[in-house]
Amino acid sequence: MFVAEKMMMMTRTRTTTTVFTNSRSKRSERIIIKRLRFRRRAKVEEDKEEVFDEIPVLSGERFLQLHREKSTPDDDDENCLQLAMYSSHVRAITTDSESFVMKVDDHGFHRGHAVFDTVSIDAETRTFQDLDYHLDRLKTSAEMAFLTFPKGLESLDSLARIVKETVSAAFEEKERRQRGRSPSSSDCCSSMMQARFYLTAGVGGFSLSAKECAEGSNFYCVVIERTKAETTKALRARTTPIAVKNKPFSNIKSTNYLQNCMITTDAEMHGADVGIWVANDGKVLEGPSANVAFVDDRGIFIAPKVDDVLDGVTMRRCFEFVEKGLLADVGVVECERRDCSFRELVLERRAKECMMIGSVVQCVPIEKWDDVDIGRDEGCERY
């Protein structure tokens, strides 16, 4: 106890940073800044330079004004339109994309104490793809992450209502933006709408404990539309060297996606489209944002056990398709969850087909994995 107390006192008092606290602090600060001011020049164009002076201290109003000016205008990025957002922190929806913000002291941001899910929307029929499944998975992830829903939003029906109203506002905003707009290159491509919803521990302080989140948790819903070109390009996969997510974290759909981002970057650095986790014992697991499935040499549709990977909603639908006989015309009438051996299916080429399956990618074939051709000579043209 004595050592701990002394260490605490020393860490509080011994510092190498000077803080201006006396009556002459302002004047001293100005003098030091004047004497030590430097200009760091960064080449921004061939004959232009950007000069960085001292950092200004702004009013809140001016700060927010600059933030809005730095935001991406509605039509700047037609590949991903941000259409509507709901925040339980303000209990309202906005379609002003520059106002899609959350507080920096939200524990979902600075501690990653948050879970999320994503549901796809058919823009033509305005229908959801398995919204109930996605909300149910959000609830499961929340329970595993020790998160509760905001007051008044404890039921999945109340969350569904918010998602639907936010999507309705998004469609109205999309129509508003399209009125009077000249056709663009993105109009020749198909689009995919998504509602992405997040549950965070809430705002208040910067510690680890959610006890300081006095107002409780926050629920956010953001609706976006992504443009995708019509393509049948199959993927090149790489077995990632990035550490595998272990249980229970592999079964929680949290916002902690550092490993997922590293997998993607590593794959791109090595000329691949996607990285895939393979366990130390050789079992195929999943990709950074989608599940993996195979059709083996017996014509059986197989995927890793849900004990080892996130229980994908789109994968569930694919199993239902097989069980209902909807893939009988292509020779697939059986399906099973089992250990998927990388050596057996990929290296020994016993997989007739391999694919990534998820809410975002839907279903995309893999034609090559670690320089091994998948499907022998069958190719991927039928996709």
Annotated catalytic residues are 253
Q: What are phi and psi of 30, to 5 degrees?
A: -65, -40
Could you tell me the end-to-end alpha-carbon distance of the chain, in angstroms, rounded to an integer? 68
CA 179/CA 190 separation, integer angstroms: 19
CA 217/CA 77 separation, integer angstroms: 31
Structure tokens at 91: 């209990």
| Closest listed residue to residue 159, CA positions, set 84, 88, 83, 256 | 88
SS3 200: strand
Contacts of 292 (CB under 8 A, 6+ apart): 276, 284, 285, 286, 303, 304, 340, 354, 355, 356, 357
Query: Using CA of residue 156, residue 161, residue 167, residue 170, what is the dihedral sign?
Result: negative
Largest CA distance in the chain: 85
Specify whether the CB–CB gap between 215 and 105 falls below 8 A. Answer: no
SS3 294: strand
DSSP letters spanning 339-382: --BHIIIIIT--EEEEEEEETTTEEEEEEEETTEETTTT--STT
| 156: DSSP letter | H
CA 193/CA 374 separation, integer angstroms: 31
Distances in whole angstroms, Cα of residue 149 to Cα of each of 185, 226, 340: 42, 29, 36
Structure tokens at 118: 């994503």
Neighbours of 21 (CB within 10 A): 7
Specify whether the CB–CB gap between 276 and 285 falls below 8 A. Answer: yes
Cis geometry, peptide bond prior to residue 248 (ω within 30 degrees of 0): yes
